[in-house]
């Protein structure tokens, strides 16, 4: 039996390099560049490409991918340790080749794409020469994929897609969409949807408007598909296998969001600590005030609890190599994640006073982002339902209104167990 919370000494120097590189080279990019997904913007090409090359030279590019796809094939524990350092910088995932939704879409193409699709889309996507869009959510459907109304019908050797999509990531910049649509009218509910690769710029794709949240760039969009025609071989997986295809990307995406959230929460806590020892009121530093000490203690405990949950879940994924076997753990991580960032960022904001409330500090953005994390890849409530269902699935109902843990029943059982000894003592 072995329990070990130490990082492999051979891996620690890489983490140290990542931490310094992100702090000194990557974080400054967000003050001079705009949309980090606009990969062909001249300024992005000038500043981001050289940093990506340095990451490649360190053997740290797209580490979530297998070596066959140009990655390192790192396990989830190593990825968690890396993302704790990468995730706080807006350009961090782009510089290291692990940005959502492209990372998940690459997994889908790797599993289900044809040789031609891999050549046309997967390779440039892995090299960050293009970005992609995952198009599933709809205006009326929200988090329920069974409510998807976008239709795909086979017309000769082409699929024709009609429908509307909401909050489609990077739609305005995407070289291709992975779109979910109903293709089977008479199939079971979870076998009626299919996944399609739709080239960007295909006639009939209409970007109604870009949308977003907070003060950041609007990187999502309201999209209409109006008679969009694609070749029949642009189906990903089999007909009616859209749910299976989608899960290829969602399990990993959820745990990776959590890894990067740790980075932001750690930075918020660090800023709160520095503010607490720097600013004084009523004759002593804020760090001596019990109300501030309460916030600091709660933030540290909450962060460490969450980090351990994430690391344990990452370890389980590495152990089982099957997201389905770790479903409840991923659901727990996803449900806990938004509250951790919200609470710690809110406390840091409060300790910074009006400065923390202003757009001269990142706290309001992180608080807003916590609500995005509570909705992206399925809302918190859905994941709590999943967790509860998984936990109760194997529990046997009691055969009596008074269960075996009812104290009178336990007392009676204990008296029966020791009756012969107690009777001997009495005689």
| Cβ atoms 23, 92 nearer than 8 A | no
Residue at 35 is within a domain: yes
Do 220 and 248 lie in one domain? The reply is no
The values of phi and psi at residue 378, to 5°, are 100, 130
Residue at 422 is within a domain: no
Helix runs in 34-101, H state only: 42-57, 76-86, 92-96
What's the CA gap between 257 and 309, in Å, rounded?
14
| Cβ atoms 178, 132 nearer than 8 A | yes
- Report the candidate in 223, 248, 250, 246 with the shortest Cα–Cα distance to residue 333: 250
Do 328 and 381 lie in one domain? The reply is yes
135: enclosing H helix or E strand: strand 132-135
Q: Which residues have CB under 8 Å from 113's CB, separation 6+?
A: 121, 122, 197, 236
Residue at 402 is within a domain: no
In 145-247, where do the E strands start and end? 151-155, 158-169, 176-182, 193-199, 205-211, 220-231, 235-236
| Cβ atoms 48, 91 nearer than 8 A | yes
Do 201 and 310 lie in one domain? The reply is no
Residue at 5 is within a domain: no
Residue at 67 is within a domain: yes
How many distinct helices (H) and strands (E) make up the chain?
Answer: 14, 10
Do 288 and 169 lie in one domain? The reply is no
**DSSP line for 268-331:** HHHHHHHHHHH-EETTEEGGGSHHHHHHHHHHHHHHHHHHHHHHHHHHHHHHH--GGGGHHHHH
Residue located via tokens 């959502």: 100
Q: What is the pLDDT along the chain (427 residues), one digit of tens a residue?
A: 667 888 889 999 999 999 999 999 999 999 999 999 999 999 999 999 999 999 999 999 999 888 877 778 888 999 999 999 999 899 999 999 999 899 889 989 988 999 999 999 999 999 999 999 999 999 998 778 888 999 999 999 999 999 999 999 999 999 999 999 999 988 988 899 999 999 999 999 999 999 988 767 888 999 999 999 999 999 999 999 998 898 877 667 788 999 999 999 999 999 999 999 999 999 999 999 999 999 999 999 999 999 999 999 999 999 998 888 999 999 999 999 999 999 999 999 999 999 999 999 999 999 999 999 999 888 999 999 999 999 999 899 999 999 999 999 999 999 999 998 987 655 5
Do 19 and 80 lie in one domain? The reply is yes
Q: Side-chain half-sphere of 263: how many Cα atoms within 13 Å?
A: 23
pTM for the predicted model, two decimal places:
0.92
User: Among 204, 219, 236, which residue terminates a domain?
Assistant: 236
- Report the candidate in 169, 244, 176 with the shortest Cα–Cα distance to residue 211: 169
Do 252 and 316 lie in one domain? The reply is yes
Rg (CA), the chain: 25
| Residue 141 confidence (pLDDT) | 82
Do 297 and 199 lie in one domain? The reply is no
Do 201 and 301 lie in one domain? The reply is no
Residue at 411 is within a domain: no
For residue 205, the domain's CATH number is 2.40.110.10
Q: Which residues have CB under 8 Å from 182's CB, separation 6+?
A: 148, 149, 150, 151, 152, 192, 193, 194
Q: Which residues have CB under 8 Å from 59's CB, separation 6+?
A: 72
For residue 60, the domain's CATH number is 1.10.540.10
Do 26 and 137 lie in one domain? The reply is no
Owning domain of residue 63? 12-99
| Cβ atoms 344, 293 nearer than 8 A | no
Count up the domains in the chain and report the number. 3
Do 150 and 271 lie in one domain? The reply is no
Burial (Cβ within 10 Å: 0-12, 13-18, ≥19) of residue 371: middle
| Residue 206 confidence (pLDDT) | 98
Residue at 120 is within a domain: no
Do 311 and 360 lie in one domain? The reply is yes
Do 45 and 176 lie in one domain? The reply is no
The values of phi and psi at residue 148, to 5°, are -60, 130
For residue 275, the domain's CATH number is 1.20.140.10
CA angle, 96 as apex, 119 and 38 as ends, to 5°? 70
Residue at 18 is within a domain: yes
């Amino acid at each position: 039996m072995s329990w070990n919370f130490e990082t492999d000494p051979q891996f620690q120097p890489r983490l140290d390099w990542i931490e310094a590189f992100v702090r000194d080279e990557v974080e400054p990019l967000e003050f001079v560049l705009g949309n980090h997904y606009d990969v062909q913007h001249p300024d992005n090409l000038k500043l981001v490409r050289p940093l990506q090359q340095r990451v490649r030279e360190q053997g740290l590019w797209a580490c979530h991918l297998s070596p066959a796809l140009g990655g390192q094939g790192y396990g989830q524990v190593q990825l968690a340790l890396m993302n704790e350092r990468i995730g706080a910088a807006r350009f961090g995932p782009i510089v290291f080749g692990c940005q959502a939704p492209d990372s998940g879409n690459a997994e889908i193409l790797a599993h289900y794409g044809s040789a031609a699709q891999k050549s046309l889309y997967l390779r440039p996507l892995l090299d960050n020469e293009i970005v992609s869009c995952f198009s599933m959510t709809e205006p009326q459907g929200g988090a329920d994929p069974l409510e998807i109304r976008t239709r795909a019908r086979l017309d000769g050797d082409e699929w024709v897609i009609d429908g509307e999509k909401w909050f489609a990531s990077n739609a305005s910049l995407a070289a291709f969409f992975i779109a979910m649509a109903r293709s089977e009218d008479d199939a079971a509910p979870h076998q009626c949807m299919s996944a399609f690769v739709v080239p960007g710029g295909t006639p009939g794709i209409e970007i109604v408007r870009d949308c977003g949240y907070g003060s950041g760039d609007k990187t999502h969009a309201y999209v209409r598909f109006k008679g969009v025609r694609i070749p029949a071989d642009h189906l990903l997986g089999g007909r009616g296998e859209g749910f299976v295809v989608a899960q290829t990307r969602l399990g990993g995406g959820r745990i990776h969001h959590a890894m990067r959230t740790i980075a932001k929460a750690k930075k918020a806590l660090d800023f709160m600590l520095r503010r607490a020892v720097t600013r004084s009121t009523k004759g002593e530093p804020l760090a001596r005030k019990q109300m501030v000490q309460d916030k600091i203690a709660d933030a540290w405990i909450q962060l460490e609890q969450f980090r351990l949950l994430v690391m344990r879940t990452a370890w389980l994924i590495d152990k089982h190599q099957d997201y389905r076997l770790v479903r409840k753990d991923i659901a727990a991580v996803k449900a806990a994640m938004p509250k951790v960032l919200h609470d710690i960022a809110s406390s840091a904001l409060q300790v910074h006073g009006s400065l923390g409330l202003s757009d001269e500090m990142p706290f309001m953005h992180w608080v807003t982002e916590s609500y995005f994390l509570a909705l992206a890849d399925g809302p918190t409530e859905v994941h709590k339902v999943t967790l509860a269902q998984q936990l109760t699935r194997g529990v046997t109902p009691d055969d009596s209104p008074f269960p075996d843990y009812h104290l009178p029943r336990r007392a009676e059982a204990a008296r029966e167990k020791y009756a012969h000894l107690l009777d001997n003592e009495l005689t």
